[in-house]
Amino acid sequence: MMQLNAMAVLFKSLMGDVSGADVSKSFELMGKGMLGIFIVMVLIYGVIVMLNKSTGSKNTK
Amino acid sequence: MSEFSFLTNGVQFMAQNPKMLVMWGIGALLIWLAIGKDFEPALLLPMGFGAILVNLPLPGVVGDAGIVKWLFEKGIVASEAFPLLLFVGIGAMIDFGPLLSNPRMLLFGGAAQFGIFLTVVLAVLLGFPLKDAMAAGVIGAADGPTSILVSQVLHSNYIGAIAVAAYSYMALVPIIQPAAIRLVTTKHERMIHMPYNPKAVSKTTKILFPIIVTLIAGLVAPDSVALVGFLMFGNLIRESGKLEGLSQTAQGPLANLITIFLGITIAYQMRAEQFLTLGTLMIMALGLFAFVFDTIGGVVFAKILNLFLPKDKKINPMVGGAGISAFPMSARVIQKMALKEDNQNHLLMHAVGANVAGQVGSVVAGGIILNLARIWGMI
């Protein structure tokens, strides 16, 4: 039943029908997308800090 | 005289297809923007000329054996080769040094992708299919090759409009960004000074960085690995210190060659019947929205960080706005804005750090969108 509701057309907009499924996926994309980017950025941040600490004193340019 | 009617067939064809004449006008406008206004001339000029070329009587360059059709099918559809090869050149142009010496700027490269996702929601609410909404959102990344690649992989119906929007708005960074930043900052915030004390970055770090980022992208967001990998490959050539000739070739002749053909190839999607739709206008508007909210996302994130930072460590929120991918224009705009508020406030190196982080952020955002599209069975 939940699935059927999500697939239903919510309303008609400028470019066509707006489906509940697409709206919920767009919000899911926003949440997962921003979280995913920050996870990748924090990982890279950590790597840079480690690289700077482990190589900084040996071979500075 | 009827024997010579073959000479007038083209004119008759155009008279029956007035939309093609409108596309000539759009092509001329793009050429004027490129030459007369210096708006991203390297891309807008080939696209403008291409818009005229593909709107001539058939078969021309878009028939079954047409050269532009062939370039599009081989260079974009079959392999996304053109945008990816361009990334090798871009990677060779970027010095990640300011980011490596001040890695917290990476956070702005993430935050300033917010507009992409907000635009997807708006586009869906406007009635666009999800795939087109996702492709439109990526315009906000201010990263032309990524926009083209994502829209192509998602089989969006608006590749031409997305490419035109992405490159047009990149050219308009000096106009769009100051307006967006002023909207969400006070004069006091824009005058915050940030001392620049760069840490020395070793050559080893500069060499390992592109390799490790490629590994992380490959493991966490596999669909971004082509984009990130080619960007970082170009950067590795640059930083290796052993391939100066290749580095110069990647930055110059390779990037120039691809740019020439990318613009004219993308014009394949600017055929009148495909381009002159309400959807194209909406995509252009959504692109502007994405661009503005990417900038605002970075600025607001900096303001939020400031709530937790001691008084002497505050970040000038304008630096957050440089977390988009338009490099180095965005960093220059921030520097100019800072000097306008206070002629002793030099933010350039901070902004450059955020700006190169935006390069990484935009390709990761594109990859994450493609990852989720694959999981949802859209590609």
Q: What share of chain B is helix, strand, coil (3-state, %, to 5)?
A: 75, 0, 25
Up-side HSE of residue B375: CA atoms within 13 Å toward CB? 13
Q: What share of chain A is helix, strand, coil (3-state, %, to 5)?
A: 70, 15, 15
The set of residues, in sequence order, having a beta carbon less than 8 Å from that of B16 and lying 6+ positions away, is none
Contact map slice: B 188-207 vs A, CB within 8 A: 199-206
B65 CB within 8 Å of a chain A CB? no
Q: Is the pLDDT of residue A5 over 70?
A: no
B373, two tokens: 């599209």
How confident is the model at residue A60, as a pLDDT?
45
How confident is the model at residue B267, as a pLDDT?
86
Q: Are A58 and B202 in contact (CB under 8 A)?
A: yes
Q: Which of B41, B119, B174 is nearest to B286 (CA)?
A: B119
Q: Which of B235, B258, B240 is nearest to B93 (CA)?
A: B235
How confident is the model at residue A1, as a pLDDT?
44
Q: What is the DSSP string of B178-238?
A: HHHHHHH--HHHHT------PPP-BHHHHHHHHHHHHHHHHHH-GGGHHHHHHHHHHHHHH
Inter-chain touch B364–A40, beta carbons under 8 Å: yes
What percent of chain B has pLDDT above 90? 53
Q: Is the pLDDT of residue A61 over 50?
A: no
Q: Are B63 and B286 in contact (CB under 8 A)?
A: no
- Please name every residue paired with A16 in a beta bridge, in sequence order, or none if there are none: A13
Residue A57 distance to chain B (closest CA, Å): 8
- Residue among A13, A44, A55 whose CB faces B127 most closely: A13
B227 CB within 8 Å of a chain A CB? no
Q: Which of B379, B366, B378, B331 is nearest to B108 (CA)?
A: B331
For residue A14, give Cα distances in angstroms to B128, B140, B157, B201: 9, 21, 17, 52
B120 CB within 8 Å of a chain A CB? yes
Contact residues on chain B for A25, CB-CB shorter than 8 A: 124, 130, 376
Integer Cα distance of B346 and B335 in angstroms: 6
Up-side HSE of residue B312: CA atoms within 13 Å toward CB? 2
- Please name every residue paired with A9 in a beta bridge, in sequence order, or none if there are none: A19
Q: pLDDT tens, A7-60?
A: 577 787 788 888 889 999 999 999 999 999 999 999 999 999 998 888 865 544
Contact residues on chain B for A15, CB-CB shorter than 8 A: 126-128, 278-279, 282
Phi, psi angles (nearest 5°) of residue A17: -70, 140
Q: Which of B231, B227, B221 is nearest to B371 (CA)?
A: B221
- Least confident span in B50-59, B116-125, B242-251: B50-59
Integer Cα distance of B144 and B115 in angstroms: 16
- Please name every residue paired with A13 in a beta bridge, in sequence order, or none if there are none: A16
B219 CB within 8 Å of a chain A CB? no
Angle at B169 between CA B51 and CA B160, to 5 degrees: 30
How confident is the model at residue B123, as a pLDDT?
95
Nearest CA in chain B to A49: B103
How confident is the model at residue B112, as a pLDDT?
93
Q: pLDDT tens, B58-88?
A: 777 877 788 988 988 888 878 788 888 998 9
B14 C-beta neighbours (distance < 10 Å), count: 15
